[in-house]
Amino acid sequence: MNSSTMAPVLEIRKCGLNDLERVTALLREFGYPTTLSVMKERLESMENNHLECTLVAELNNEVVGMVGLRQVISYYKQTDCITEITALIVSEELRGNGLGKRLVAAAEEWAREQGCCQLFLRSGNRVERAPAHSFYRHLGFEKTAGYRFNKALL
């Protein structure tokens, strides 16, 4: 079988510093302005924090998606810990091919390995987020009431 007829190979694995350029590009593509140096600092910090994890989806040796995770100890939930998806990005040209679903499944697996029994994420209520909201509901997430309040600290 020649390489042009081989099925694409998808691997979901822990993000490393060698993924810095592609992860930065994915974040920029999604509208999050960042730089290589800022992302390098963030990835290095997360690498030494067992409560955080970044997983990447690598398709044929190219990083095409990522999911950022953070374990949270909750004051208001009855559970010991929950995991927050802090970022979920699939390269625009590959959306709709099941990569996001595979990343969320890997996130669920990581959360369970940490002893967490709930996975949550936050998403804006802008109209352009409607397809993402539909995707989350399709994967079993439930929309809950609430607001997100931000305050800049100068």
The structure tokens 């987020």 sit at 129
Q: What sign does the CA torsion over 127, 98, 100, 142 have?
A: positive
pTM score, whole prediction: 0.86
Domains, the chain, with CATH or none: 10-138 (3.40.630.30)
Task: Tell me the pLDDT tens digit for each residue of 66-117.
Answer: 999 999 887 766 667 889 999 999 998 898 889 999 999 999 999 999 988 8
- Residue scoring higher pLDDT (55 or 126): 55
Residue 152 banded pLDDT, cuts 50, 70, 90: confident
Under DSSP, the state recorded for 7 is P
Asked whether the beta carbons of 63 and 56 are under 8 A apart, the reply is yes
Query: What confidence tens digit (pLDDT) does each residue in 127-141 have?
Result: 878 888 889 999 999
Q: Closest Cα to residue 67, out of 10, 117, 121, 107?
A: 107
Q: Please give the structure tokens belonging to residue 134.
A: 């539909």
